[in-house]
């Protein structure tokens, strides 16, 4: 609640002046001032007379209004008329005048007149234009109307001693102006009356004037041209906006008059004020009256001839009254509230500059204001200089201008006609940018990051149903545990076009030591991000930290985490079984799609100028601004402000006690990097490690290059002199000194920047001790256990050190080739996926890159020992249960037949972003394992690390199925599969179904997987409480395609397709099996497979007759993959002799052992399609011959 303005019971004494006497160089702006011999201060009066100028007055009632900026002076509001001390008395004379009806022909026709001829015009003030200040000239227009008709003439008032007239003139009153001459504008030639130096403004009095004929005074040779030129700033740079773009739906604004009270200043820089809590007044299209002095909340204003615009912007909540150059704004009464004065910026006002530059209509201008307000609110606290964001210069545009100009150029692409302000003021028919408008639906938005979170979460939960995550054909065969596990983790991706309007991301790039992830940050929140390069190189731009980024092409990933207890798939529509919903939101984009709006300043130089490095740690916990103004070296808000209590004494001793800008740097190459996790690290000074909490950390093995170097300034360390010296000395001159770097605490911020084969430099600011790195090194194990010197020394990275990325090995120049050859010898071996799954591979730790084709959440591997950190990780809020793992199917390229599975425990996933189908990942130091089914897979262990090489394609918004299923598998022969058994993920064959070997239909308990019979579980010890059964089916069939035979395992819905049963027949069969619990049959060569037959059951008899029916034996199109886990592992058999009969002829041939395949899809083949596929298959076979 605002308080009343306090009264000052003091009498002021001073002179009223327009400012001309104080500073002759100062521009006369039409404002009034109060002065004495001690100083001068602006003032505002509701009533003013011209004879008051330069006169001494007593001011009995006044109020001083301070500015919001306490360092700047305010102004004085004169509440009642001042009391004159001595006013000069003037004796009026009779004045000859001309009325507008008689003077108007001088402007419309070329009547010659004498040079320097003067004219006095009397009339009623019909319109009063605003004060305009352009090109260091102040002027305004007024219009005098005839007393008896509607004829009016324009008058240009431009002399400095006449600017005070603007305070005297009132609409509807009668005035006399002397000393007028006829002039014309240079460019348009439009004629008007112009005041001279001797012109006077007098109140009209009929007794003191006499009408003067024109013939006696106006006869001469030609008209003179006004020396006042057209202001190029407006007329040359203002063009029509989008108002005429769609004339069919364009609205016409109404011109009205309005009296209201200012209730709120919406944005003084943009000229927006709220009247009566319901109407927005926009003064941006005319310059502010007296620099907006007096327009405080509580003041009453009268608006004359303003434009009424209803709903110009969809998101703007108020009706708008726009004042154009033909409108008049009059201050009727001062505010009695103690609200300070907010002056608009006199120069560098980006709101008005962009408005005039692009000649924006009201809808676009309001949209521009909303973008700029949000921009300033979100990022002014980071950079501490608001003018840096909002000022505009020709040489160096601010961040806000870099952001807004491309958007405005897109919506106002054409500049056909410039805005002519003189025609806008003087034309008989009114024309201005506010005359016509079109309700604007904003083309884009740039909300705060907290709003991005809300909108993204709202979007993915709107209309969400768990049934969307699973195929009904798959879900109906899942037990309770598998069903809820498959629902517990899913994701969707949103692009800028997924939002209406299109969403642009803005944020300051920072890195958090708590999450060790890159983040975009504004005042409201932070958004984790994954940044990659389109060429596949890792993102390591440490210099970009603290920069303001704009991203329009991105993928906003929303991970969904559900805790559910669905008994079966039939209840998926019942959301009561969803116990908890959580989300995790992050964004991923390419660096090439980033526009840097504001580059981070040299934070190292800023830190060096601040004195000793201990000042880097002194931050105000309660002030975001203070933290941002004192960042760590080359960092902008790297950390939450917490004082560091682990300052190393050795480093302190090595630093100079005097203020210095020197620093020590050390170049190194990363040869190995391990993942981020909890480790049992203890500092060397800690004697007893018992009871110590595990430290979240990571480590990297590096190779020091050269020796530490001392620099007088940070910018000198940029030419890699260490490699230059090594190249001159040859390969022998390169010393191979390895070290194990330990990153803990605030140094965890360097985790996303550190990558294999990267050359980096540690920089220790305010340090001149070249042995600072050696002093901080310690052995990895206590000295009493250290038997040799083969282990590299450990170095604990200090919080104040700065990491600077220099280059990559592959980017070294020609004269550094010798060094590069030495460094490449240190590289870690990177294998290919075919090499990893090859039987000849012998390594236990593997590194490779590949594309994720499938992501599945599964139970943890049974042979994996639980990590000691599981409990701790769960306490820290891991969104997935610790007994889960994610299985990634990784291939060399999309559609490649080579796939390897990678298992990552859920406890590691909270530090891993971007593991999505379609993403290309580089895996380091995975453990290679072989399953009991002789399948090769890899697991993520403590020494492993992953990095994103490239992002998934943006056309996969809801990948509920594994990638690769959308593309049609290639058509192959069974005889060609033997050479590709280990590398074949999926294929298709045109084959003949020979017979059904085994068939099993059963109902199992959804909870314990026991047989479910007659509506209840058959488990008795202990009793199972479940009342929900799940139907399951499996069959083994024999197929051949003329080149070989294969045994195909079919499950669930594929069994019905193999048997040729319709949906109704299949449902009826399943209902019959439900009362029995299980029905199984076997046929032909399938003896010994463990399938027990029940000959007395009529359902079994039906199935047996169906399997032996010739209708089953038919051509089919089969999609399959290798059955990696057969129910019984058969040893490979040698070639066998088999008898084949065709009619009366019998053949003997050698055949390969039957392959074990897993059915993925079955399609019936019509005769026409069969002929086409046969011919296509024969054609492909002949091409390979």
Give 15-54 as a DSSP string.
Answer: EEE-STTT-TTS---S-EEEEETTEEEEEEESS--GGGBT
**For 974-996, how does the pLDDT look when each residue is reduced to its tens digit (9 = 90+)?**
877 765 555 566 788 888 888 88
Specify which residues 560 forms β-bridges with: 490, 583
**Alpha-carbon span 443 to 461, nearest angstrom:** 25
**Alpha-carbon span 574 to 164, nearest angstrom:** 76
Among residues 807, 823, 747, which one has the least CA distance to residue 538? Answer: 807
Q: Which alpha helices (H) appear in 439-492, and where do they start and end?
A: 449-461, 472-475, 480-487
CB 768 within 8 A of CB 662: yes
Question: What pLDDT does 873 receive?
Answer: 42
What is the average per-residue pLDDT within 1064-1075? Answer: 86
Percent of the chain residues topping a pLDDT of 90: 24
**For 75-102, how does the pLDDT look when each residue is reduced to its tens digit (9 = 90+)?**
999 989 999 887 666 656 778 888 888 8
Count other C-beta atoms under 10 Å from residue 105's C-beta. 11
Environment class of residue 4 by beta-carbon count within 10 Å: exposed (0-12), middle (13-18) or buried (19+)? exposed
**Alpha-carbon span 976 to 1155, nearest angstrom:** 11
CB 253 within 8 A of CB 435: yes
Residue 904 confidence (pLDDT) above 50: yes
**Alpha-carbon span 265 to 1119, nearest angstrom:** 69
Specify which residues 341 forms β-bridges with: 67
**Alpha-carbon span 739 to 757, nearest angstrom:** 15
The model's confidence at residue 661, banded by pLDDT at 50, 70 and 90, is low
Specify which residues 1146 forms β-bridges with: 1141
**3 state DSSP class of 506:** strand
Here the tokens at position 814 are 């020609």
Question: What pLDDT does 1144 receive?
Answer: 77
Residue 579 confidence (pLDDT) above 70: yes
Backbone angles phi, psi at 733, to 5 degrees: -80, -10
**Alpha-carbon span 945 to 673, nearest angstrom:** 7
**Alpha-carbon span 308 to 115, nearest angstrom:** 45
**Alpha-carbon span 625 to 382, nearest angstrom:** 7
* Helix 350-358 × helix 362-383 angle, to 10°: 150
**For 307-365, how does the pLDDT look when each residue is reduced to its tens digit (9 = 90+)?**
999 999 988 999 999 999 989 999 999 998 888 888 887 777 888 888 888 889 999 99
Environment class of residue 784 by beta-carbon count within 10 Å: exposed (0-12), middle (13-18) or buried (19+)? exposed
Question: What pLDDT does 332 receive?
Answer: 92
What is the average per-residue pLDDT within 472-476? Answer: 79
**Alpha-carbon span 172 to 145, nearest angstrom:** 9
Q: Tell me the C-alpha to C-alpha distance, in Å, between residue 1043 and each of 305, 976, 1040.
A: 92, 9, 7
**3 state DSSP class of 138:** strand
**For 256-294, how does the pLDDT look when each residue is reduced to its tens digit (9 = 90+)?**
999 999 999 999 989 999 999 999 999 999 877 778 888
Residue 301 confidence (pLDDT) above 90: yes
Here the tokens at position 831 are 């294998």
**Alpha-carbon span 382 to 548, nearest angstrom:** 9
CB 266 within 8 A of CB 234: no
Percent of the chain residues topping a pLDDT of 70: 77
Name every residue whose Cβ is closer than 8 Å to that of residue 348 and which is 6 or more positions away in sequence: 387, 390, 391, 392
CB 116 within 8 A of CB 181: yes
Residue 972 confidence (pLDDT) above 90: no
- H or E stretch at 286: none
Average pLDDT, the chain: 78
Residue 788 confidence (pLDDT) above 90: no
Specify which residues 517 forms β-bridges with: 512
Question: What pLDDT does 653 receive?
Answer: 37
**3 state DSSP class of 291:** helix
Question: What pLDDT does 626 receive?
Answer: 33
Among 425-429, 765-769, 966-970, the least confident range: 966-970
State CA 671 to chain mean position distance: 33
The model's confidence at residue 961, banded by pLDDT at 50, 70 and 90, is very low
Q: Which of 224-238, 648-662, 903-917 has the highest mean pLDDT?
A: 903-917
Question: What pLDDT does 902 receive?
Answer: 93
Overall pTM > 0.75: yes
The model's confidence at residue 963, banded by pLDDT at 50, 70 and 90, is very low
More confident residue, 229 or 64: 64
Question: What pLDDT does 590 receive?
Answer: 94
The model's confidence at residue 728, banded by pLDDT at 50, 70 and 90, is low
**For 601-643, how does the pLDDT look when each residue is reduced to its tens digit (9 = 90+)?**
654 444 444 443 333 233 333 333 333 333 333 333 333 333 3
**Alpha-carbon span 1162 to 1039, nearest angstrom:** 12
Among residues 999, 989, 1087, 1088, which one has the least CA distance to residue 1044? Answer: 989
Q: What value does the CA radius of gyration of the chain take, rounded to a whole number of Å?
A: 42
Question: What pLDDT does 648 receive?
Answer: 40
- β-pairing, 936-939 vs 1029-1040, is unpaired
Cα atoms in the Cβ-side hemisphere of radius 13 Å centred on 941: 15
Among residues 744, 746, 748, which one has the least CA distance to residue 679? Answer: 744
**3 state DSSP class of 620:** coil
**Alpha-carbon span 54 to 34, nearest angstrom:** 10
Among residues 330, 391, 324, which one has the least CA distance to residue 359? Answer: 324
Could you tell me how many residues make up the chain? 1185
Beta strand spans in 1006-1044 (E): 1012-1013, 1016-1017, 1029-1040
CB 976 within 8 A of CB 1010: no
CB 1046 within 8 A of CB 1157: yes
Question: What pLDDT does 220 receive?
Answer: 39
Q: Tell me the C-alpha to C-alpha distance, in Å, between residue 1017 and each of 277, 892, 1009, 1010, 1011.
A: 69, 45, 9, 7, 6
**For 843-856, how does the pLDDT look when each residue is reduced to its tens digit (9 = 90+)?**
889 999 999 988 98
CB 109 within 8 A of CB 154: no
Here the tokens at position 1141 are 């009969």
CB 326 within 8 A of CB 286: no
**3 state DSSP class of 231:** coil
CB 511 within 8 A of CB 518: yes
CB 1093 within 8 A of CB 1087: no
**3 state DSSP class of 769:** coil
Residue 592 confidence (pLDDT) above 80: yes
Residue 484 confidence (pLDDT) above 80: yes
More confident residue, 1185 or 171: 171
Residue 828 confidence (pLDDT) above 90: no
Environment class of residue 135 by beta-carbon count within 10 Å: exposed (0-12), middle (13-18) or buried (19+)? exposed
Residue 437 confidence (pLDDT) above 70: yes
């Amino acid at each position: 609640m605002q308080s009343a303005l306090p009264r000052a019971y003091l009498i002021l004494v001073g002179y009223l002046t327009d400012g001309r006497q104080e500073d002759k160089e100062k521009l006369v702006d039409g404002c009034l001032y109060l002065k004495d011999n001690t100083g001068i201060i602006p003032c505002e009066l509701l009533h003013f007379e011209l004879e008051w100028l330069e006169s001494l007055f007593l001011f009995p009632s006044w109020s001083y209004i301070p500015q919001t900026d306490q360092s700047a002076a305010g102004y004085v509001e004169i509440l009642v008329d001042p009391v004159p001390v001595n006013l000069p008395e003037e004796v009026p004379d009779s004045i000859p005048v001309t009325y507008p009806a008689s003077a108007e022909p001088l402007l419309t026709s070329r009547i010659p007149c004498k040079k320097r001829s003067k004219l006095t015009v009397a009339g009623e003030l019909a319109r009063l234009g605003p004060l305009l200040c352009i090109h260091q000239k102040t002027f305004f227009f007024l219009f005098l109307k005839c007393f008896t008709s509607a004829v009016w003439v324009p008058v240009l008032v431009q002399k400095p001693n006449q600017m005070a007239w603007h305070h005297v003139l009132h609409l509807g009153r009668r005035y006399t102006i002397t000393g007028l001459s006829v002039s014309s504008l240079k460019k348009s030639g439009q004629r008007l009356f112009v005041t001279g130096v001797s012109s006077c403004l007098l109140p009209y009095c009929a007794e003191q004037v006499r009408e003067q004929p024109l013939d006696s005074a106006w006869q001469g040779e030609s008209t003179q041209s006004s020396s006042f030129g057209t202001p190029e700033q407006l007329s040359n740079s203002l063009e029509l906006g989008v108002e005429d773009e769609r004339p069919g739906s364009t609205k016409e604004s109404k011109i009205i008059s309005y009296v209201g009270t200012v209730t709120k200043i919406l944005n003084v820089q943009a000229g927006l004020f709220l009247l009566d809590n319901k109407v927005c007044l926009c003064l941006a299209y005319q310059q502010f009256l007296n620099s907006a002095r007096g327009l405080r909340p509580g003041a009453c204003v009268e608006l004359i001839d303003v434009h009424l615009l209803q709903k110009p912007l969809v998101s703007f909540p108020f009706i708008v009254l726009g004042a154009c150059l033909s409108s008049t704004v009059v201050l009727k009464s001062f505010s009695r509230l103690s609200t300070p004065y907010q002056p608009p910026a006199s120069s560098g006002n980006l709101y008005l500059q962009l408005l005039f530059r692009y000649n924006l209509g009201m809808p676009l201008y309001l949209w521009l204001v909303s973008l700029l307000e949000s921009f300033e609110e979100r990022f002014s606290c980071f950079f501490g200089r608001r003018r840096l964001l909002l000022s505009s210069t020709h040489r160096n545009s601010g961040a806000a201008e870099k952001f807004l100009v491309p958007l405005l150029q897109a919506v106002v692409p054409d500049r056909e006609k410039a805005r002519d302000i003189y025609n806008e003021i003087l034309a008989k028919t009114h024309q201005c940018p506010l005359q016509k408008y079109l309700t604007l639906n904003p083309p884009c938005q740039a909300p705060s990051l907290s709003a991005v979170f809300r909108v993204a979460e709202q979007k993915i939960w709107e209309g969400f149903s768990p049934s969307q995550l699973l195929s009904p054909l798959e879900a109906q065969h899942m037990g309770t545990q598998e069903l809820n596990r498959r629902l517990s983790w899913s994701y969707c991706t949103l692009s800028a076009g997924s939002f209406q309007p299109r969403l642009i991301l803005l944020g300051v790039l920072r890195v958090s030591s708590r999450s060790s992830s890159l983040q975009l940050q504004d005042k409201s929140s932070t958004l984790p991000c994954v940044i990659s390069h389109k060429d596949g190189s890792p993102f390591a731009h440490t210099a970009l930290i603290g920069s303001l980024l704009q991203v329009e092409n991105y993928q906003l990933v929303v991970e969904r985490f559900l805790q559910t207890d669905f008994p079966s798939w039939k209840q998926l529509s019942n959301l009561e079984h969803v116990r908890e919903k959580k989300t995790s939101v992050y964004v991923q984009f390419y660096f090439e799609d980033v526009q840097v709006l504001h580059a981070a300043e040299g934070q190292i130089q800023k830190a060096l100028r601040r004195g000793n490095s201990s000042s880097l740690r002194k931050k105000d916990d309660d002030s975001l601004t203070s933290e941002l103004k004192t960042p760590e070296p080359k960092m902008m808000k790297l950390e939450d402000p917490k004082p560091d209590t682990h300052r190393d004494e050795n480093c302190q001793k090595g630093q100079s006690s005097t203020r210095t800008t020197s620093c020590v740097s050390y170049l190194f190459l990363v040869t190995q990097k391990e993942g981020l996790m909890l480790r049992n690290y203890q500092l060397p000074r800690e004697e007893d490690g018992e009871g110590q909490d595990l430290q979240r950390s990571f480590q990297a093995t590096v190779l020091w290059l050269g020796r530490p170097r001392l620099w007088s300034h940070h910018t000198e360390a940029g030419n890699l002199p260490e490699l230059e010296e090594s190249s001159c000395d040859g390969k022998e001159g390169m010393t191979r000194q390895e070290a194990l770097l330990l990153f803990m605490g605030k140094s965890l911020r360097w985790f996303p920047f550190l990558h294999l084969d990267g050359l980096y430099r540690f920089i220790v600011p305010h340090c001149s001790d070249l042995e600072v790195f050696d002093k901080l090194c310690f052995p990895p194990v206590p000295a009493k256990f250290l038997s040799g010197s083969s282990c590299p020394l450990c170095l604990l990275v200090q919080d104040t050190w700065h990491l600077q990325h220099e280059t990559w090995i592959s980017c070294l120049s020609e004269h550094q080739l010798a060094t590069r050859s030495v460094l490449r010898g240190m590289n870690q071996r990177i294998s290919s996926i075919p090499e990893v799954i090859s039987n000849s591979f012998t390594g236990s730790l593997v590194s490779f890159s590949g594309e994720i084709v499938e992501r599945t959440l599964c139970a943890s591997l049974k042979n994996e020992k639980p990590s000691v950190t599981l409990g701790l990780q769960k306490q820290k809020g891991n969104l997935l249960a610790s007994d889960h793992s994610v299985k990634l199917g990784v291939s060399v390229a999309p559609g490649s037949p080579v796939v390897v599975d990678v298992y990552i425990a859920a406890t590691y996933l909270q530090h891993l972003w971007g593991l999505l189908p379609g993403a290309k990942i580089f895996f380091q130091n995975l453990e290679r394992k072989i399953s009991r089914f002789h399948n090769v897979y890899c697991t993520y262990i403590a020494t492993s690390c992953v990095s994103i090489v490239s992002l998934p394609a943006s056309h996969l918004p809801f990948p509920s199925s594994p990638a690769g299923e959308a593309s049609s598998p290639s058509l192959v022969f069974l005889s060609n599969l033997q050479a590709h058994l280990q590398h074949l993920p999926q294929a298709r064959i045109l084959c003949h179904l020979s017979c059904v070997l085994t068939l099993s239909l059963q109902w199992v308990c959804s909870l314990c997987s026991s047989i479910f019979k007659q509506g209840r579980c058959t488990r008795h010890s202990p009793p199972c409480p479940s009342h929900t059964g799940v139907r399951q089916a499996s069959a083994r069939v024999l197929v051949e395609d003329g080149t070989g035979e294969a045994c195909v395992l079919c499950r669930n819905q594929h069994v019905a397709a193999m048997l040729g049963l319709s949906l109704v027949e299949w449902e009826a069969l399943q209902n019959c099996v439900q009362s029995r619990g299980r029905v199984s049959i076997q046929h032909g060569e399938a003896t010994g497979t463990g399938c027990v037959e029940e000959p007395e059951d009529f359902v079994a008899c039906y199935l047996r007759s169906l399997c032996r029916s010739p209708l089953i034996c038919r051509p089919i199109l089969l999609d399959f993959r290798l059955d990696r886990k057969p129910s019984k592992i058969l040893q490979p058999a040698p070639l066998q002799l088999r008898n084949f009969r065709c009619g009366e002829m019998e053949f003997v041939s050698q055949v390969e052992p039957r392959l074990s395949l897993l059915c993925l899809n079955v399609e019936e083949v019509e005769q026409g399609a069969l002929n086409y596929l046969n011919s296509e298959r024969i054609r492909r076979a002949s091409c390979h011959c």
